[in-house]
Amino acid sequence: MEKIKHLEYFEKIIIDNGIIMTPQRRAILDVLFTNRKRHLTVEEIWHQAKNIFSQIGIPTVYRTVNQLESIGILYKIMVQGNCCKYQLTDHEEKNKHRHFICTRCGSITDIYLPEMSMTEQQIENRYHVKIENQNIIYYGLCTQCIQVSEE
């Protein structure tokens, strides 16, 4: 039930943006939702989506993730080697989830902030804009790589 409610939330945004909810897009959305705590490549999304809708082609997955990113419901995270990983934005916490990428091992950590930061409010006030989404990435060493370099 919880899943249906959240999927409906994302479906509504998609439809409101004039994108038709085809079986292919529904399969992709389902995969993204099931893996919403992870960061997936287009290939990974495609492999899983094929289990739901077998005729889906990889160009459709590319097109769909670009569409979903452009309407602000998907994070696009550039990782090493020009590869991108994708993750559905959070239902209630749309503005708060950020990413930390380890420059040594490439691991991605989700960073959750409790509420809209002061900085974002300052940006809105100073530039007279309304922030609806963000895609901020921090770079550095992850916990494991710090431990390895200290040993």
The helix (H) or strand (E) run that includes residue 39 is none
Whether the Cβ atoms of residue 57 and residue 25 lie closer than 8 Å to each other: no
Residue nearer to Zn ion on the CB measure, 38 or 50:
38
Q: Which of 27, 25, 74 is nearest to 49 (CA)?
A: 27
Judged by beta carbon, residue 53 or residue 69, the one nearer Zn ion is: 69
> What are φ and ψ of residue 78, in 5° steps?
-80, 125
In angstroms, give the least distance from the CB of 38 to Zn ion: 8
* Residue in this structure with the two tokens 């077998």, named with its chain if needed: 54
CB distance 138 to 98 below 8 Å: yes
Shortest Å, Cβ 60 to Zn ion: 23
Instruction: Using the minimum distance from each CB to Zn ion, give the nearer residue, 71 or 145.
Output: 145
User: At its nearest, how many Å lie between Zn ion and the CB of residue 141?
Assistant: 6
Taking the complex as a whole, how short is the minimal distance between the CB of residue 69 and Zn ion, in angstroms?
A: 13
Chain contacts with Zn ion (rule: CB under 5 A):
87, 102, 104-105, 107, 110, 142, 145
Of 105 and 113, nearer to Zn ion (C-beta) is 105
- For residue 11, give the nearest of 73, 56, 90 by alpha carbon: 73
